[in-house]
Structure 1
Amino acid sequence: MIETVLGDDAFHALMQKHTKEIIDLLLKQGVSFSILTNISDVGFNPELPESITHNFKPITMFFLAGYTFESAQIYNDILSFEAGFGNDNFGSLVSVPLDAILQIVIEEVPVFINLSTPSKVLKKAPKDNGIKRSMEALMANPENQKLIKK
């Protein structure tokens, strides 16, 4: 039942719209924030060297503050920003599709959780993947542990 809702195209579009609206608001208000995303969906231009990418986890958080925040923009449903990585501050333009953003976090508090699973993911993966992906994203933030009843 829940897979039907989470994988519904209309629900997915609504979550993507909310993601865009929240990020637009934060950018306009000058509020620094973090995004939690599946690293496999993120693009880097230029590509990051292996010495940097080998440290990335499947679910990775990016903190948008300072120049990274100021360079952030949304175009064609992609959040892009410039960031420096590693000890040498290797510069790259980071591109994150809005539907790949699993959480938006302000001061370690999730203010938005994207539970939708794009229908393309549901078609490629087993039925329980949507719930598993959403739960992994939710549990990736230690603060969310207290939301689960034991």
Structure 2
Amino acid sequence: MEWLEPGYAALFFLSFIAASLLPLGSEWLLLLMLSQGFSPLYTIVFATAGNTLGSYLNYALGYWAHEWLHKKNKLQGAGWQKAESWFQRYGVWSLLLAWMPVVGDPLTLLAGVLKAPWKRVCTLIFISKSGRYLVVFLLYWMAN
């Protein structure tokens, strides 16, 4: 029951928090754990699960906050219009960029505010986040 080791829980929670709008990263812990002999499969699974669920929370917050933001006129202004038109232009497929630092987390929130279809959002975020951690692992593996 190796997956019960505390390191995996720490990786999950750090990855979850890293998906918020806070400027955190979880790749460093993933790399540290790999260098300490932790299972590559479990590290990728726990990091992906935490980061994906964190992005789902961003989507849900945006979805539920839509009415409040509208009432408070927070969905006005050039910045909002630019973000909305960008998302409308590229659609939910833009969520394949959810893995990117700085851009990805607000993008998942925006998808919620614009009430993008939940199933497609979940699928695209999962693909994006799992790809991110798989690439980090592959780079580590190639370097060692």
- Tell me if TM exceeds 0.5: no
TM-score by length of 2: 0.34
Structure with greater helix share of residues: 2
Specify which structure has the higher proportion of strand. 1
Larger radius of gyration, structure 1 or 2?
2
The TM-score normalised by the length of structure 1 is 0.33
